[in-house]
Amino acid sequence: MKDARVHRIPATSRGTALPFAAMSSIALVFPGQGSQRVGMGRALVEASPAAAAVFEEADRVLGEPLSRLVFEGPAEELDLTVNAQPALLATSIAMLTVLRERWAGAGRRIESAFCAGHSMGQYSALVAAGSLRLADGLRLVRERGLRMQASADGRWGAMGAVIGLDDAQVAEVLERAHAKGLLGLANRNAPGQVVLSGERPAVEAALEIAKGLRARKVVLLPVSVAAHSPLMADAAAGMRQVLASVPISDPRPPLLANANAAPIDTGDAARNELVDHLTAGVDWVAIVERMAASGVDTFLEVGPGRVLTGLIKRIAPGVAAIAVDDPDTGGIAPAAVELGEAATPVTADASAVR
């Protein structure tokens, strides 16, 4: 019998505070593939030489004019996994660079308690946390995209969104559909909003079962790569080899793991995360709940769009969620610039989070 990868959330990670004092009440979050758009980052480059330098480095590292593709398109080329991922990384880091410039110019010193990325957004988070050099991150996400596409070739993969079922019903869908092929829970994005991933017959069967359980909406997504599923095993194995030779230092502030919101505060843990999350699901609900329980009350989405901002508002209605992206104001939303000075950092006992 084929294995159904039913991703279950450990009880200890759902809304449970981490056993150390948060560095501040602010968290930086970074979007993943799907948030890209033609023209993203253009306003940042026009406003800041430092942001322009980020895109110049991306062009140099990749040996091609990625910036021209980002600013001018075409969209169908930008949307390719091998282009979208480095484009998102460059745009997110350029945005963070300009935001930090604006804070410094306003005399504000902002510390964050956590950095967290959704899927490939973890690479942006690691660069932001000083764990991964931008040049290495760009090379890695390009390699990640290539290996994800290669891992999908010859495998009839698919992904499908399901809205309006509770966790128990989602587990029932996965259990009943697994006879049709490999299947897993790719994303738990918000209460009642999940994405399934795996072999196409299994995904299609799961969507029909979800309809029968009165899901409010089911959508077969227009993708060919079954991300965050067992079909990415070859990509994960390849990335493990690639990452072994890349220097990754301890992230400061820590990240939270995509699959279970476990703290990531060492370089080795970060390296393992970048491998493991290719085949495991992204539990964004658990990640946001754990940060909120640990004292975070303000989330800044650093990257194009506001997908994560909308999800965070549904997961934790009592917190402030701000999308930094604002092309009409030099690329940075005024509300993000106007944040007051964060709390003084508190040194955490790293052994307490093992």
The domains of the chain are located at 20-152+230-342, 157-220
**Mean pLDDT across 312-323:** 97
Q: Is the pLDDT of residue 36 over 80?
A: yes
Cβ atoms 282, 33 nearer than 8 A: no
**Of 54-63, 147-156, 218-227, which gets the smallest average pLDDT?**
147-156
20-152+230-342: CATH topology: Malonyl-Coenzyme A Acyl Carrier Protein; domain 2 (3.40.366)
Mean pLDDT of 36-55: 96
Kindly list the catalytic residues.
119, 228
Q: Region 64-80: what's the mean pLDDT? A: 97
**49-62 and 134-152 are packed helices; what angle lies between their axes, rounded to 10 degrees?**
50
Instruction: State pLDDT tens for residues 182-231.
Output: 999 999 999 999 999 999 999 999 999 999 999 999 999 988 789 999 99
**Quick check: 51 pLDDT over 60?**
yes
Amino acid 322: pLDDT: 97
Residue 315 has pLDDT above 60, yes or no: yes
Give me the long-range contacts of 311-317 (CB less than 8 A, separation at least 24). Answer: 311/189, 311/190, 311/193, 311/284, 312/29, 312/288, 314/190, 314/191, 314/193, 315/190, 315/191, 315/284, 315/285, 315/288, 315/289, 316/288, 316/289, 316/292
pLDDT, average across residues 79-92: 96
Q: Is the pLDDT of residue 350 over 50?
A: no
Q: Kindly report the backbone phi and psi dihedral angles of residue 282, in degrees, each rounded to the nearest multiple of 5, phi listed first.
A: -105, 110
List, in sequence order, every residue forming a beta bridge with 4; answer none if it has no partner.
183
CA distance linking residue 205 with residue 181, whole number of Å: 10
pLDDT recorded at residue 348: 34
Q: Which pLDDT value is given to residue 328? A: 83
pLDDT at 135: 98
Higher confidence at residue 145 or residue 9? Answer: 145
Mean pLDDT for 161-165 is 98
Where residue 15 falls among pLDDT bands split at 50, 70, 90? low
Give exposure, 1-14, as e/b (b: 16+ Cβ within 10 Å). Answer: eeebbbbebeeebe
Instruction: Could you please state the CATH topology (level 3) that the domain comprising 157-220 is classified under.
Output: Alpha-Beta Plaits (3.30.70)
CA–CA distances in Å: residue 244 to residues 128, 192, 272: 21, 37, 10
- CA 270 → CA 32, 40, 132, 209, distances in Å? 17, 28, 9, 37
- Determine the average pLDDT of the residues in 39-50: 96
**Mean of per-residue pLDDT scores for the chain:** 90
Q: Can you tell me the mean pLDDT for 303-317?
A: 97
Residue spans of alpha helices (H) in 34-114: 42-47, 49-62, 66-72, 75-78, 81-105
pLDDT, position 7: 42
The model carries a pTM of 0.90
- pLDDT average, residue stretch 156-172: 96
